[in-house]
A and B are shown apart, each in its own frame.
Chain A
Amino acid sequence: MTSVKVAVRVRPFNTRERNRQSKCIIHMDQKEQTTFIRNPIDDSVKNYKYDYSYWSCDEDVNNQIFATQEQVYQNLGIEMLEHSFEGYNVCIFAYGQTGAGKSYTMMGKNEFDQPGIIPRLCGDLFNRIKSSSSISSPTSITHVKPHYTVEVSYMEIYCERVRDLLSPKKSQTTGVGSSHNLRVREHPIMGPYVEDLSRLLVTSYDDISRLIDEGNKARTVAATNMNETSSRSHAVFTILFSQSTHDFKTDLTTEKQSKISLVDLAGSERADSTGATGDRLKEGANINKSLTTLGKVIAALAEMSSKHRKLRSEKKIDFIPYRDSILTWLLKENL
């Protein structure tokens, strides 16, 4: 059992791509879970092995088996839920450009009855809770049925600033979501946490769906006001799942708490430093126009110089980096 799994999924052609008669350069070997990408210029093929390669492109292309929402959930979601019930934390991270289909995989489409991972996961979560709490489920002499609580929080991270998307303190100008930045603190025993992040109790998938929508609204509105594009921020939706069991014999209550984190539900292009999105402009050649990035330029210079120096010196124990003999993170707020 590995603790990290990587899956890649390819979507069907969209209208624009069909109109331009785009050729499909991707092929998947579903037995080996390998993805092959053919370079249309020189026909060379590169292959990448993943834990799962999902073919969800047009069915009649390349004769491959179509991977449905159900299948994706079966592979990825069920195990996540299982781990969560066991008390482990799980995280699912969706990465891709706008239009790549992240929302479809994560949330799905309601109208075509193709729910994604999140609705299925939440649905199953509440179903299991209900069935284990129902009168018909067996109990033992010593245990009472476990008591479950499900809370959610939703935050947005942009340049190391954290915003609470479900904050009751509505922003005065936007009427939704808070514009106040929260601090990330590290507790020596409990670990890192976001100070004052709202945790809302939910009892059904509908509750969760509603809160995701509200949070998303808060993201869009704020982005417009912040002069920043939402595509550069990351959203983290967390489900805090607590199970407490009371043992009559010992009169002890044990509690298991697990976190299900769903990261980056919105677009995640790497916008380049000039503010335009990455795939149009060659990132390497462009320079920053804004003087606010002077620090970033200096930091990059220092880092380049430091790496250059390190490569020349003898190989040291790598995992204890000499806690970088320099500090370029000083500007972490502005980077």
Chain B
Amino acid sequence: MKLLERYLLAVDKCYVQSLNDPEAEPYKSKYEARKLFEELHAENIDEESDEIKKEFDTLDLIDENNKIKFIIKKPDEYLYEPSATKKHRYLVDLLLDYHIGTIYSDTEEKGEGESRLQSILMSIEPALNHSLICSLALNLLNQLILIRTSYEQYNEAIEIAKRADNLYNQSLSTEPYLLRELIEIDSAIPTIDRRDEFEQIYTYTSFFLAQIYAKLDDKDQSANYCRLTLERQLDMFHSDNRKHFDPLDWATNCATLSQYYMTKHDYATARHCLMCADKMLENVVSNENLPERTASFKRCWIKYAINLLSDSSDRLLQAADRDVTPNEIVRSLTIPKFEFKLSLPSAPMTCSYVLDYEQARQVFLFAMEKINSAKSYYVLDGFVTDHVELCQDTSQLYSKLVFFESNIDRKCKMYKRRIDLLSSLCKEISEEHYLYLVRQLLFELGECYSILLDLKLEQKEDLHTIKIVEKISHLIQSGISAFERFLTTMNDKKTNEKPETYADEYIRPVLLAHFYMGRFHSKSTQNRLEHIQQSLNQYKTIVDYVEKHPNALEHIEQEYTICKEMTNLLPLKLEKLRQAQ
């Protein structure tokens, strides 16, 4: 068997077969491969082709301080030089050593691996961007980056990556032979394929850097290199080298990147990423994951809209508070940090903070369209969690929109919509199986009733007409029911008793539920005596709980002072009411 064949077998064993190694012997194939590579040092190499001889014309081998190195030879220089065969032999040995060093590193002998790889690097350093050397060099640098990173020497790893950058930039016009071609050049391979392989190796360098910066907690740089990696992958797509490219994957990663920029309130960049993700989906040939993925991108847009409205209203509030213009709080960024090379349609939605109801409504309508579309995939029967979350998103959108609405009647209508949505959903899902969701829905429902009640009272309608009294009464009852049901979900399943102590994450919601109920009772216009007593009971429950569990105070500080006051004032009020009867 020829050297090349045996080499390829060893490579396959090392990188492919090793994936199937048994759990108890995870390095079995790698150890075997290492032996194979070591044996190949003794294997004769075939006579060089003219092509490779020509390449060796510009590559010289010298002995510097007892270290044999490759150097670039100037074309008209004539030095005593070894034969092409000797150079070839040395180069092949370096290639084998590269694999052996990598195997040492992969099999937990990193120190040994690193020193071997460093030694190879020294031998090729003066000739890094020669066409026979550059691929080996770039792979080598990547390995050294991995090793340094594993020792948590992140800054050193970054320095090595900078060398890789230089190498890459200096090799832009070089013909980078594939590693196996160091043994025998394959004239059937077009230049573009070699170029693409080389680009792929450098893409890994970007990818590693993205992770290293993440470990250094430099999120912006990390995101930058993630973006760079995506960009490089996109270049592959454009150059028709789709071998390594998966459009669905790319689109998903791009959409995920948009989420990062959203956390930075960079809506322009986030929007750009989402638009690119949508565009890339057009290139996905039918795939069983496509419908789900398409629907999930819509959800990204929904979150985008909710966040934008939320930030917009915060901004306006802060501006009002500090008596400045919104721009002095934060300016809208309209230009994305970068642009992927994809031709995009015009933007479906703004990326600037909204200022008024009309603008907010546009965002709202856009998001509602996405919600309805996503719901056609995420139907309730089959996707309960997702469907419920989409409904919660709807509720959130209304809650953000209402900030911009000044007319009380219309505000009331929006709350009614939320209430209808949340209450019908509560009835449709099993409390047993979706306890967490049901609790969220009930709590939000109760809050909505509370706000709607306040709005109704504010409407200044004649509070004594029977119709209004009934409406108010109904809202109070419904609100109390929602919170009561919420509290009941916390009870022991067998005894239906209230727990002595609530888990930390539930302390505030539970005490708030009592607080809301106390308020509901106090707003009642009928049966005042009874309701005030109930109200007092609720506030007492809160005060008692905090007394028994002092650590609960931090969760409900503001409301607690009110509760304490109420427990002092309300008994007096009750007395007065009793005397009046």
Residues on A close to B: CB < 8 A? Answer: 1, 3, 98, 185-192, 224, 227, 229-231, 267, 275-277, 280-282, 284-289, 291-292, 294-295, 297-302, 304-306, 308-309, 317-320, 323, 325-328, 330-331, 333-334
| With A187-B381, A294-B230 already in contact, 16 other A-B pairs whose C-beta atoms are closer than 8 Å | A189-B429, A192-B384, A231-B23, A276-B26, A284-B152, A287-B146, A297-B226, A301-B223, A302-B257, A305-B260, A319-B505, A323-B393, A327-B300, A327-B303, A330-B252, A331-B253
Taking CB atoms and an 8 Å cut-off, the chain B residues in 226-274 that contact chain A are 226, 229-230, 244, 249, 252-253, 255-257, 259-260, 262-264
Measured between beta carbons, the chain B residues less than 8 angstroms from A229 are 23
Q: Report the Cα distance A305→B257, complex, angstroms.
A: 12
Measured between beta carbons, the chain A residues less than 8 angstroms from B219 are 301, 304-305
Taking CB atoms and an 8 Å cut-off, the chain B residues in 427-486 that contact chain A are 428-430, 432-434, 439-440, 443-444
Tell me if B380 counts as interface (CB < 8 A to partner A): yes
Measured between beta carbons, the chain B residues less than 8 angstroms from A3 are 493
Measured between beta carbons, the chain A residues less than 8 angstroms from B108 are 280-281
- A323 contacts B389, CB within 8 Å? yes
Measured between beta carbons, the chain A residues less than 8 angstroms from B150 are 281-282, 285-287
Q: Report the Cα distance A334→B211, complex, angstroms.
A: 17
- B505 contacts A326, CB within 8 Å? no
Tell me if B299 counts as interface (CB < 8 A to partner A): yes
- B384 contacts A187, CB within 8 Å? yes
Measured between beta carbons, the chain A residues less than 8 angstroms from B259 are 299, 302, 306, 326-328, 330
Min distance, Cβ B113 to any Cβ of chain A, angstroms: 14
State whether A295 and B214 are in contact (beta carbons under 8 Å apart), knowing that A189-B429, A229-B23 are contacts in the complex: no
Tell me if B80 counts as interface (CB < 8 A to partner A): no
Measured between beta carbons, the chain A residues less than 8 angstroms from B505 are 318-319
Binds A, one of B191-199, B402-410, B506-514: B506-514
- B439 contacts A326, CB within 8 Å? no
- A188 contacts B384, CB within 8 Å? yes
Measured between beta carbons, the chain A residues less than 8 angstroms from B382 are 185-187
Min distance, Cβ B237 to any Cβ of chain A, angstroms: 14
- A295 contacts B252, CB within 8 Å? yes
Tell me if B183 counts as interface (CB < 8 A to partner A): no
- A306 contacts B256, CB within 8 Å? no
- B263 contacts A291, CB within 8 Å? no
- B211 contacts A267, CB within 8 Å? no
Q: Report the Cα distance A171→B23, complex, angstroms.
A: 23
- A191 contacts B226, CB within 8 Å? no
Task: Give 12 pairs: A residue, B residue, CB < 8 Å, sorted on A.
Answer: A1-B494, A188-B381, A188-B430, A192-B433, A229-B23, A287-B146, A287-B150, A297-B207, A309-B263, A323-B396, A327-B303, A331-B256
- B256 contacts A191, CB within 8 Å? no
Q: Interface on chain B toward A: helix, strand, loop, or mixed SS?
A: helix
Q: Report the Cα distance A326→B432, complex, angstroms.
A: 28
Residues on B close to A: CB < 8 A? Answer: 19-20, 23, 26, 108, 146, 149-152, 203-204, 207-208, 210-212, 214-215, 217, 219, 222-223, 226, 229-230, 244, 249, 252-253, 255-257, 259-260, 262-264, 289, 296, 299-300, 303, 306-307, 310, 380-385, 389, 392-393, 396, 428-430, 432-434, 439-440, 443-444, 493-494, 504-506, 508-509, 512
Min distance, Cβ B216 to any Cβ of chain A, angstroms: 12
Q: Report the Cα distance A301→B249, complex, angstroms.
A: 17
Closest 9 CB pairs of A and B: A191-B433, A186-B384, A326-B259, A305-B263, A302-B260, A287-B211, A302-B259, A227-B19, A298-B256
Measured between beta carbons, the chain B residues less than 8 angstroms from A323 are 389, 392-393, 396
Q: Report the Cα distance A121→B291, complex, angstroms.
A: 44
Closest to A276 in B: B26
State whether A298 and B260 are in contact (beta carbons under 8 Å apart), knowing that A188-B381, A325-B307, A327-B296 are contacts in the complex: yes
Closest to A273 in B: B211
Task: Pick the residue among A186, A277, A287 that contacts B212 (CB under 8 A).
Answer: A287
Task: Pick the residue among A190, A275, A280 that contacts B430 (CB under 8 A).
Answer: A190
Task: Pick the residue among B210, B263, B299 that contacts A302 (CB under 8 A).
Answer: B263
**Most chain A C-beta atoms within 10 Å of own C-beta, residue among B244, B253, B430, B494:** B253
Min distance, Cβ A288 to any Cβ of chain B, angstroms: 7
Q: Report the Cα distance A299→B505, complex, angstroms.
A: 25
Measured between beta carbons, the chain A residues less than 8 angstroms from B203 are 291
- A328 contacts B26, CB within 8 Å? no
Measured between beta carbons, the chain A residues less than 8 angstroms from B299 are 327
- B300 contacts A300, CB within 8 Å? no
Measured between beta carbons, the chain A residues less than 8 angstroms from B392 are 323
**Most chain B C-beta atoms within 10 Å of own C-beta, residue among A230, A294, A295:** A294
- A330 contacts B300, CB within 8 Å? yes
- B256 contacts A98, CB within 8 Å? no
State whether A320 and B260 are in contact (beta carbons under 8 Å apart), knowing that A187-B381, A190-B430, A301-B219 are contacts in the complex: no
Q: Report the Cα distance A81→B352, complex, angstroms.
A: 60
Closest to A185 in B: B382
Q: Report the Cα distance A144→B204, complex, angstroms.
A: 70
Measured between beta carbons, the chain B residues less than 8 angstroms from A309 are 263
Measured between beta carbons, the chain A residues less than 8 angstroms from B383 are 185-186
State whether A190 and B433 are in contact (beta carbons under 8 Å apart), knowing that A304-B214, A317-B509, A318-B508 are contacts in the complex: yes
Measured between beta carbons, the chain B residues less than 8 angstroms from A306 are 259, 263
Min distance, Cβ B182 to any Cβ of chain A, angstroms: 22
- A333 contacts B289, CB within 8 Å? yes
- A331 contacts B252, CB within 8 Å? yes
Measured between beta carbons, the chain B residues less than 8 angstroms from A1 are 494
Task: Pick the residue among A284, A326, A333 that contacts B263 (CB under 8 A).
Answer: A326
State whether A291 and B430 are in contact (beta carbons under 8 Å apart), knowing that A298-B260, A304-B214, A327-B296 are contacts in the complex: no
Measured between beta carbons, the chain A residues less than 8 angstroms from B389 are 323
Min distance, Cβ A173 to any Cβ of chain B, angstroms: 14
State whether A319 and B440 are in contact (beta carbons under 8 Å apart), knowing that A227-B20, A281-B150, A297-B214 are contacts in the complex: yes
